[in-house]
Structure formats: C-alpha cells, structure tokens
Amino acid sequence: MTYTPYHPQSLEPALQQRWEAEGRFRAPAYPDGEKFYALAMFPYPSGQLHMGHVRNYSIVDAIARYQRMHGKTVLHPMGWDAFGLPAENAALKNGSAPAAWTFSNIEHMRGQLRRLGLSYDWSREIATCTPDYYRWEQWLFLKLYERGLVYQKLSAVNWDPVDQTVLANEQVVDGRGWRSGALVERREIRQWFLRISAYADELLAGLDSLQGQWPEQVLAMQRNWIGRSEGAEIHFPLADGSGVIKVFSTRPDTLFGATYLAVAPEHPLAEQAAAANAQIAAFLARCKQGAVSEASLETQEKEGVYLGIEVRHPLTGALLPVWAANFVLMGYGEGAVMSVPAHDQRDFEFARKYGLPLRVVIRVDDADPGADELQAAITAPGTLIHSADFDGLPSAVAKVAITEALAAKGLGQKTINYRLRDWGISRQRYWGTPIPMIHCPHCGVVPVPEAELPVVLPTHYQLHDPRSPLRDDPTFLEVACPKCGAAAQRETDTMDTFVESSWYYARFACPDAEQMLDQRAAAWLPVDQYVGGVEHAVLHLLYARFFNRLLRDVGLLPKDGAHDEPFRRLLTQGMVLKDGSKMSKSKGNTVDPQAILDRYGADTARLFILFAAPPEQSLEWSDQAVEGAHRFLQRIWRMVQEYSLPLTPLPVRLGPAARELRRAVHQCIERVSSNMAERQHFNVAIAACMELSNQLGRVEAAPGEDLHAVLGEGLQALLLLLSPFAPHLTEALWERIGDGQALFTHPWPEVDAEALRSDTVSLVIQVNGKLRERLDFSATSSPAELEQAVLTHPDMARHLSGKEVRKVIVVPGRLINIVVA
C-alpha cells in the first residue's frame, strides 16, 4: 500500500480553493427549511489576527459545520468593524490616511481568515466604513430624530486643551491626555443622544426571555447596568423661596437623617454661587480638571464646598446646607443628592471630612449608637427612630408612609429611576459616520434630506494632529440650508462606533438591500448562536438589543415577539493566556497564529484551541499541546490510509471483540453529539474522539471479517465527528474511505441503540455507603439475582468476612449497597 504523508501546508490551501470555487458555504437568499444563523462578533481590522480571534472563530465554525450536518440551512458571515479611534491613532503614528490603513488591514486579515478554512459566506462581507453601509444608520438617525428619540443637549466631556479635542475615558491617563500630557478639563458641550432610556423597561423585561440561553453573568451585568430602582422624588424648598431642589432616593425611610444636600459642580446653583465667591469658583475650576467617567468619580478623593445656600427639610422645616461635591453627576436626575451620612458610606466619609452632622434614624438589631460612636454608616434597613410620627416602623413600611406624607404636602412622589443613561453618540473625531445634520444661523439644526444621503466621509486626509479635519475642510463643512437656502455648516461630530456594531448582524442577512433591511432579515433573524468576549457584556450587547427594537419600531422587523431580541443564544469565550497572563505585546508573551499555520496547518491550530479548555473558560497556551494535537491528526491520517479497502458491510452476527468495539464507536457518537448540541464542550467531544482512536488503533493488523467491518464503521464515524474541528484532514480522508456522499453534505452519525446494549453491566458496590468495588454482572439479572451474586462474589469476601449482612439495597443499573453490622 502506498502511504501519502500528511502535509497540511499543501492539502489545506487546495481544499480551500475548491470550496471557494464551488461556493460551498454560500447561503441562499432565504432559508431552505430549518435555518441556523451562526455569528462571531466581527473584528476590528487591526492588521493581524491573534489567538483570541482564532479561538472565537474556530468555536463558531465548529457550531456552523455541526448544524449543516443536521440538515439546517446555515448563514455564517464575516465583516469588519472598521471605523474608530485605533485607525486614527495608527494614522497619526504612521502618517497615513485612516481609510488606506484600514482597507490594507482588511485585505491582510481576510487572507489570514481564509487560511484557517472557516466556512464563511464571503459574498456577504461588509465593512462598516463604506458609504453603502453607514448611509442606512444615517437614515435611521433621521427617522429617530422625527420620533424624538434623537436629541441634543449639553454634556460633560474630557477636553484636552493642548490637542483641542475631546478624549474618550480610556485616553485619559492619570488625569492627563494620552498624547499631549496636558491636564484634562471637564467641559460641557452640545452632544447628540439616543433615547435608550425610553426602552429601559422593555430591555430589562427582555432579559427574562434569555434566561438559560445567555450566561447568567451577562444577564446580571445588564440588569445592574439598567439599574431599575423604586424610590421617591423628594423636593427640598430653597430657604429664600425661589424654588426647590429635587432629588431621587431609594431610601426615603432615612429622610429624617438628611443633614445636607450635595449638588454637581455644574449645577446652576453652584455656578450662581461661584459668580460671587472666589473660593467656590476655584473649587469648580478644580473639578473641571479630571475625567468624567463614573468610575473616575467614584475612586477620586471626595471634595466639596459650602455654597452659602440652604434648603428646608420637606417634613420638619429644618434648614439644611447645600454643598457642591465632586462626586455628584449632573447627568444623574437633576444633579443633586440627599445626603444622609449616618446611613450612606460616601456621605459618611464626606461629613466626617468637613465636620457635618450625622443623625441616626435607623436601628438595626436593637442597637442605638450615638452619632459620635459610628465608625461607618449603617446601611442596612431596620426600624425607624428619631423620625417623628414614623418611629417604630420597619424600613419597608416607612418608605411608603413617608412617600405618601411627601405627596400630601406636594413635596414628593413615588417614582422609578434607572441607572441607565441616554446613549451619547457624538464623537468629536474624524474616522466615523458623519451625523446627518446641518446647522443654519436662521433655522437652527436641520436634518439632511433623505434624498441627499449618504453624507459621505472624505477619505483622503493625512492626519497630523488629533483635531478632526472635517472642521477645517470647506468642501465638507459648507452647505446650503435645506430649509431656507442660506449658507450653513454640516455637523462635524461623527457617530460612536458602537452604532455600526449595533445592527451589522441584521445587515448580513441582506447586505445588498436597497434599504436598511428587507424581508430577508426577518427570515434569518434572530441570530441562533452568537459568540464573543464577555467584555462586551454590557455596552455592545445592550446597544444591539436596543437597536433591534428600533429596527422593529420603524417597520424593518416584524412586531411578532419572535424578533424582539437579536441573539437567541450567547456564548462568551474565555481569554487565551500564556505563562498565566493574557497575551499582549507589552508582556512579550504573544503567539503568532501565522507561525502555527505555517508549521502545523489550520486543522492543528483549530483542534488545539478547541481541545485545550471549555470555550467559556480561559485557555493556557502550551507548545507541547499543539504538538500533541498535530500528532493526533497524523495518527488519524495514518490509520485511515492503512485501512485495507474495500469497506465491508457489518455481518449479522458479531463476535465479542467486534461487539465491544462497535459499542465503543456508538458510545463516542453519543458523547460527542451530547457535547456539541447541549453543553458545547468541544474539549470533551474531542477527548471522546481521541479515546475512540486509541481503541480503533488497537485492532490487530489482519482482523477477522467482523472486526474489519466494525473498524471501517468506526473510522467513518471518527471522520464525521471530527469534521467540525479539522475539516481539511477529514474531507481528504473521507474521499478514500467515505460512503460516496460528500462529507460536507453528509448527515451527522446517529447512535445505534442496539450497539450500546451490553451483555454485562458494571455496578458500584458499597458497604455501609462506602465504595468498595466495581463489579460486572449479567445485564439481565433481576434484583434478587444481583443480591445473591454480589454476596457470593469472591472479590467481596474480604469486605464481608465475619460481618452480619442486614440488608442489600439494589439500585438497578447503578449500584448495590450492602448494610452490615
């Protein structure tokens, strides 16, 4: 027999060219029969694949191939999240245009993905930086503007005074701009917002439908991010009678413990007080130095200043001072909070720092500490004390009673608040989707007419500083007002890149549509399996859920309930580690996927990365394990080539060795099928295939007719089971030993229940509940026969000698427990 060596470097590209020529993975316009939409979070075109990409895409490809073998019409597309800040940073560094840099990277990464042999429908490829893609989000922006779901307002941003640009939170390092090193200022500028808060209740309720299909961790993170809380809106009248300060509190039961109010540095009352007080003005100026993210505000040192303003307690009439504090956000409610230092830790620390009074109004566990004795705030609910008519009420009851008392005085009401803030999509940078609005000195803000879409982003700029070149380009900037015809200017803000990634999954269903989506989207959606990193648990996944509802409400998706959620099932894969740390260039512990492909081939890379750990767990890189995966594939290659053709049908009767081997084959099919369909533990599935290969490999060189037939069946099953993980090798070998039907259209192997039957059954033997033996008995034995057999079995003599057997408990198919004195 002629043995052809396993050479993936030539085998794999040849098969990939055949797949491409045949259009093998091209999905039809509409599903034919049962559909399955498999999708990985699409990549940013950085120029190089990393091992995290390889893991993510190998997981989805295994799922897609498995579903094809179950007769489903599979959609498995790929595209590029191509706008964003990294392209600008690279352009600044390299002196190139972001567009040229981006498209060059796309071309290179596309070649790398093709080399992995992933079963993509490349005819549906999209890049979000192309006008035929982003014109439709401009169209949607205008539709949402008409509905009041898009609006402009002042919002705090990180401002770099040297580079004269807005910085993202991640560009602020130790309070300074990442590029200039200048102290960052907190400024308020007009920005565009999407009213995601209008969908807060629906987004929260929708999480219930994803229970059991999405990781519980992701569902919990989204619930926390939306942050629905019931409480009271409380009005504190200004002492001078000029109005009220409104605050929201989830703890109206602590109202009698309020000793001061705190407002944001940007609050109108703070700015009004600063106009006549240099100390206050200096404090507000200091607050403008520093980042604006909630995380930054939480960790910074708490500071404040008294504004010289007082309010009246709404129930007691007592005067309370009003402070400006650097931890209060103007975007939270109306930029003011009720401070109860005895029952809130942040308020406690602030009060201790500035000598403000504490008043204990909640007793827990019968303790009634004086304010001076407190070492920390008492945050648990309890029983009210020092709260006038509400003394003795439990916190839960007092919340209702106090809220009703406020409402009766017209100074409050029950309300629901959300942590979720409206989505600010304005970016004062260049490489993004232009916002389709025009600023007219006479008409104000005017939408670009739909007929003039898309507003095309010029792509020729060479960047030399972070300032957006759109602001200085009259060919882009200057335009006639669509309403009055006067000279006007285009909006120079671009959209947050999360906008592009919030609807790409739907565009894949109809990438050539002459509208944002057509009927093909409804036919393919929702995505049946979505895979990506858990770091996208909140923003991307929440925004995509929001956008899916927007698409539904503007008539692009059915309002049938089945299309409310974009992703039916979610898998969040773990990181790839090396030497215990996440791979990164700065740590010098990266592994180049191209080097693995060049040395071992795509099948080895895919098999290793799916075998090394369950997909949701982190994976530790191991050069030895890569070698092991390659040796396993070489063994399969050799075993199939060494099999003596032709295949022979299974005899009517099998000998004991052949029956045992066939049982192992079908046990493997059962185990792999279970782990592919339910748990998606590909590592366990591959381990089962490895175990079967060992059993097949032990068959003698010249077996009898029955063993030869079972060996052929086992090798065929092994190739079918391995094909989602190692598609090149298995297809090449199938051409030698297959049944005449092409591997990629072949059904998944089915378990023969008869083959799983055994003449014997292995039972756990316990004595007084402790494991003592594992023994084989006839599978047809009755409980009485099993009891007699175990008591007389020679291996049990040492466990039972000299002991009185009081009871034998038989659990059929599992165990026998012998109770002795």
Cα 632 to Cα 642: distance, rounded to the nearest angstrom? 15
| Per-residue model confidence (pLDDT) at position 410 | 97
| Per-residue model confidence (pLDDT) at position 297 | 62
C-alpha neighbours within 13 Å on the C-beta side of residue 581: 9
As given in the structure block, the two tokens for residue 375 are 């070492």
- Cβ neighbors of 479 (< 8 A, separation 6 or more) are 438, 488, 489, 490
As given in the structure block, the two tokens for residue 579 are 């030497």
Contact of 554 with 140, CB cutoff 8 Å: yes
Mean local confidence (pLDDT), 484-489: 98
**Quick check: 291 pLDDT over 90?**
no
Q: What proportion of the chain, given as a percentage, has pLDDT over 70?
A: 98
Collapsing DSSP states into helix, strand and coil, what is residue 771? strand
Cα 262 to Cα 767: distance, rounded to the nearest angstrom? 70
Q: Which residues pair with 263 in a beta bridge?
A: 324, 336
Contact of 668 with 690, CB cutoff 8 Å: no
Of 165-169, 512-516, 776-780, 803-807, least confident by mean pLDDT is 165-169
Sheet holding 319-325, edge to edge: 304-312, 319-325, 260-263, 336-339
What band does 700 get if pLDDT is binned at 50, 70 and 90? confident
| Per-residue model confidence (pLDDT) at position 367 | 73
Contact of 544 with 537, CB cutoff 8 Å: no
- Where residue 772 falls (left for φ over 0; alpha for ψ -120 to 50; beta otherwise) is alpha
Using CB atoms within 10 A of its CB, is residue 418 exposed (0-12), middle (13-18) or buried (19+)?
A: middle
Single-letter amino acid, residue 426 = S
Whole-number average pLDDT of the chain: 93
**Quick check: 1 pLDDT over 60?**
no
Cα 446 to Cα 490: distance, rounded to the nearest angstrom? 10
| Per-residue model confidence (pLDDT) at position 586 | 65
- Long-range contacts from 624-629, C-beta under 8 angstroms, 24+ separation: 626/596, 626/600, 629/600, 629/604
Residue appearing with tokens 């409610």:
333
What band does 86 get if pLDDT is binned at 50, 70 and 90? confident
| Per-residue model confidence (pLDDT) at position 330 | 81
Q: CA dist 553 to 7, 151, 403, 524, 561, Å?
A: 54, 18, 36, 18, 12
Cα 309 to Cα 323: distance, rounded to the nearest angstrom? 8
As given in the structure block, the two tokens for residue 191 are 């920005």
Q: Which residues pair with 155 in a beta bridge?
A: 189
| Per-residue model confidence (pLDDT) at position 298 | 64
**Quick check: 520 pLDDT over 80?**
yes
The string of pLDDT tens digits covering residues 246-287 is 999 999 999 999 999 999 999 999 999 999 999 999 999 988
Helices 682-697 and 623-642: crossing angle in degrees, nearest 10, is 50
Q: Cα-flanking dihedrals φ and ψ of residue 778, to 5°?
A: -60, 135
As given in the structure block, the two tokens for residue 210 are 């994803």
Residue appearing with tokens 């579903």:
67
Q: CA dist 569 to 33, 60, 527, 680, 783, Å?
A: 20, 12, 8, 12, 44
In the DSSP assignment, the letter for residue 748 is P
Q: CA dist 319 to 118, 205, 314, 808, Å?
A: 70, 42, 10, 80
Of 297-301, 407-411, 734-738, least confident by mean pLDDT is 297-301
| Per-residue model confidence (pLDDT) at position 292 | 62
| Per-residue model confidence (pLDDT) at position 369 | 78
Residue appearing with tokens 């790398």:
112
Cα 94 to Cα 552: distance, rounded to the nearest angstrom? 42
| Per-residue model confidence (pLDDT) at position 181 | 87
The string of pLDDT tens digits covering residues 583-605 is 876 677 888 999 999 999 999 99
Q: What proportion of the chain, given as a percentage, has pLDDT over 90?
A: 81
Q: What proportions of the chain, in percent to the nearest 5, are helix, strand and coil?
A: 40, 20, 40
**Taking the complete model, does pTM exceed 0.75, yes or no?**
yes
Of 638, 738, 705, which Cα lies nearest the Cα of 2?
A: 638
Q: Which residues pair with 527 in a beta bridge?
A: 567
The string of pLDDT tens digits covering residues 339-387 is 999 999 999 999 999 999 999 999 998 777 788 889 999 999 999 999 9
Query: In 361-483, which residue ranges form alpha helices assigned H by DSSP?
Result: 395-408, 474-477
Single-letter amino acid, residue 421 = R
Mean local confidence (pLDDT), 413-426: 92
- Cβ atoms within 10 Å of 22's Cβ, excluding its own: 11
- Cβ neighbors of 654 (< 8 A, separation 6 or more) are 662, 706, 710
The string of pLDDT tens digits covering residues 244-257 is 999 999 999 999 99
The string of pLDDT tens digits covering residues 102-152 is 999 999 999 999 999 999 999 999 999 999 999 999 999 999 999 999 999
Q: Are strands 319-325 and 260-263 parallel, antiparallel or unpaired?
A: parallel
**Quick check: 175 pLDDT over 60?**
yes
Cα 693 to Cα 714: distance, rounded to the nearest angstrom? 9
Of 189, 169, 173, which Cα lies nearest the Cα of 181?
A: 173
Q: CA dist 315 to 236, 333, 403, 404, 765, Å?
A: 9, 21, 11, 11, 73
Which element (helix H / strand E) includes 75?
A: strand 73-75
Of 704, 635, 699, 608, which Cα lies nearest the Cα of 661?
A: 699
Of 665, 671, 698, 674, which Cα lies nearest the Cα of 687?
A: 671
Cα 626 to Cα 621: distance, rounded to the nearest angstrom? 9
What band does 293 get if pLDDT is binned at 50, 70 and 90? low
Mean local confidence (pLDDT), 431-460: 97
**Quick check: 467 pLDDT over 90?**
no
Of 260, 364, 341, 361, which Cα lies nearest the Cα of 306?
A: 260
| Per-residue model confidence (pLDDT) at position 698 | 94
Of 179-183, 606-610, 716-720, least confident by mean pLDDT is 179-183
The torsion of the CA quartet 549, 550, 554, 559, rounded to 10 degrees, works out to 0
The string of pLDDT tens digits covering residues 553-587 is 999 999 999 999 999 999 999 999 988 888 876 67
What band does 655 get if pLDDT is binned at 50, 70 and 90? very high
- Cβ neighbors of 251 (< 8 A, separation 6 or more) are 231, 340, 343, 344, 395, 399
| Per-residue model confidence (pLDDT) at position 678 | 81
In 340-477, the DSSP E strands lie at: 362-363, 383-384, 412-418, 423-424, 426-427, 437-440, 444-447
Q: Cα-flanking dihedrals φ and ψ of residue 39, to 5°?
A: -150, 135
- Cβ neighbors of 217 (< 8 A, separation 6 or more) are 534, 537, 572
| Per-residue model confidence (pLDDT) at position 765 | 95
